[in-house]
Amino acid sequence: MNIILLGPPGAGKGTQAQRLVEARGMTQLSTGDMLREAKTSGTEMGQKVAEVMAKGHLVTDEIVIGLIREKLEAGGNGFIFDGFPRTLPQADALNELLADMGQSLDAVIEMRVDKDEVLVQRVVNRAAEAVAAGKEPRADDTAEAMQERLFVYYKQTSPLLGYYYAKGMLQGVEGLGTMDEVAAEIAGILDA
């Protein structure tokens, strides 16, 4: 089973993806994690990623699709796309890749959160919890950075909601529920 988790930053996509990894043995494909891993892998694709990132450039969709292809070829018990696709061209590229590999997308789940202030507070709290635990908080877990991330999300990623709705694939869960409530809603969609 291959799924996409969509939703604004701070909606809990990473938390729910981790729960699916633990409960169902799925593999979380987080673009950021894949890029960091590739950069230090020593593979041909990893060298491309390292060169692009060293120059401070954004990694191309072609490179990201190549990294996803490598992960899919390695096999697994289903994949959770987290942070990809972010744009309509990326959604088309993912569809083509899955079709080339004889796979499909089984569900696109939108984690709905209709209050930006709740999202901002979540990341500020996440930063505070990291500090309290003696860990370094994420650099972008500030109210100002979160406002910018939300702007980018609404501009670039929210069109995917219409894209997947038109394909009859979009299903929503209430992202403001407790972690267990959200997990139960997602499980209900996947088990249907």
Give me the active site residues, please.
Answer: 13, 86, 126, 138, 149
Residues ≥6 apart with Cβ < 8 Å to 81: 2, 3, 4, 5, 29, 68, 94
Longest dimension (CA), the chain: 47
Strand runs (DSSP E) across 116-167, as ranges?
none
Residue at 175: amino acid letter:
G
What gap in Å lies between CA 116 and CA 139, rounded to an integer? 19
Using N-to-C axis directions, what is the helix angle for 31-39 and 44-54, rounded to 10°? Answer: 100
Strand runs (DSSP E) across 45-169, as ranges?
79-82, 107-112
